[in-house]
Amino acid sequence: MSKLVTIYGGSGFVGRYIARRMAKEGWRVRVAVRRPNEAMHVKPYGVPGQVEPIFCNIRDDASVAAVMTGSDAVVNCVGVLNELGKNTFDAVHAEGAGRIARIAAEQGVANMVHVSAIGADADAPSAYGRTKAAGEAAVLKHMPNAMVLRPSVVFGTEDNFFNRFAGMTRLGPVLPIASGKTLFQPVFADDVAKAAVKGLLGEAAGGVYELGGPEVKSFSALMQDMLSVVHRRRLVVSLPGFVAWPMAFGFDMMQAASFQLISNGVLTRDQLRGLKRDNVVAEGAMGFADLDLQPVTLGSVLPDYLWKFRPAGQYDAITGSARNLRHD
């Protein structure tokens, strides 16, 4: 019988890439999610019955243990960018990760991969970064040989970074951002998946790997790259702190006043705190080179999915050529 991997959060952005690659490796893939009916897109990643979404609440021991039963390997991809209800940073990033690792150790799971983030640090300015660090510590406490992946900002077809800002270019001549000088090292989601597969197959040693693409650029420069891909001219404005902080506070208060019926998906105060530090691979950290992997560039992927934000969408090249026609 083929081996089984359970991927917590396997229907999410990075998780689906890992699920697809593990299916190609011939493994059975169990995708543990809160809403299985919204995760049916993972089923075609393999032959019928090979990839199956199943309900799981990572805040509950019994739920985590039930979906892990019989697994040869485990991946934790669960994370939140904004706290909503019981899904706080601590409950998801720290307690949830630790629970998965503890139960994996109890069940004798051979390999575990934990997807964290660059910026995970017990002394990080953001609660996001501090709880990510707590999660890593909890995972390594129970599964000392686990592979911990810390990607920089992840890009790909389903990302909420370039897609979000590309969508904003439709709203007006100005593209506002916060902390425009902060450095990022964008990494392709499928490259992160390739690294995870190495750990799941036992082809790479455990430990902490920081994953960044071949390019280090400021937030503002990344927005300029995006604008060139979507063929739009916009003024990128990095908002000063005295503007950004009141905006973030207002959005946070709107979420609180609505009893979280309105989610702050724009800008939170915690995200602003996180932007105080560069999001790049630390000097001397293990990374893609240690896994014999070569990450792809932004330019080789962005046009594949941002074309829909061009003025004429898929027909933009045709309309551009038409403008250059000269009638005799």
For the domain that residue 127 is a member of, what is the CATH number? 3.40.50.720
- Return the amino acid letter for 93: H
**How far is residue 65's CA from residue 55's CA, in Å, rounded to a whole number?**
12
How open is the CA angle 206-60-202, to the nearest 5 degrees? 20
Cα 199 → chain centroid: 18
* Tokens matching residue 71: 């697994």
Q: Residue 183's CB: how many other CB atoms inside 10 A?
A: 16
Please state, in angstroms and as integers, the Cα–Cα distance from residue 41 to each residue in 30, 31, 46, 162, 179, following that order: 13, 11, 11, 22, 35
Q: Is residue 114 part of a domain?
A: yes
Q: Is residue 52 part of a domain?
A: yes
Number of domains in the chain: 1
Q: Is residue 240 part of a domain?
A: no
**How far is residue 310's CA from residue 208's CA, in Å, rounded to a whole number?**
39
Q: Is residue 104 part of a domain?
A: yes
Q: Is residue 313 part of a domain?
A: no
Q: Is residue 219 part of a domain?
A: no
Beta partners for 52? 30
Half-sphere exposure of 320 (CA within 13 A, CB side): 11
Q: Is residue 119 part of a domain?
A: yes
* Tokens matching residue 313: 């969408």
Q: Is residue 221 part of a domain?
A: no
> Do the beta carbons of residue 148 and residue 116 sit within 8 Å?
yes
pLDDT of residue 328: 46
How open is the CA angle 146-122-240, to the nearest 5 degrees? 125
**How far is residue 112's CA from residue 302's CA, in Å, rounded to a whole number?**
31
Q: What's the whole-number average pLDDT of the chain? A: 95
**How far is residue 166's CA from residue 186's CA, in Å, rounded to a whole number?**
16
**How far is residue 323's CA from residue 320's CA, in Å, rounded to a whole number?**
5
**How far is residue 199's CA from residue 25's CA, in Å, rounded to a whole number?**
13
* Tokens matching residue 129: 């970064």
pLDDT of residue 121: 97
Domain coverage including residue 31: 4-159+185-214+279-295
pLDDT of residue 324: 67
Supply the pTM of this predicted model: 0.94
174-224 pLDDT, tens per residue?
Answer: 999 999 999 999 999 999 999 999 999 999 999 999 999 999 999 999 999
pLDDT of residue 315: 77
Please state, in angstroms and as integers, the Cα–Cα distance from residue 291 to each residue in 22, 112, 274, 287, following that order: 17, 16, 28, 7
Q: Which residues make Cβ contacts (< 8 Å) with residue 318, sequence separation at least 6? A: 312
**How far is residue 167's CA from residue 161's CA, in Å, rounded to a whole number?**
10
Q: What stretches in the chain show pLDDT beneath 50? A: 327-328
Phi, psi of 132 (to 5 degrees): -65, -40
293-307 pLDDT, tens per residue?
Answer: 999 999 999 999 999
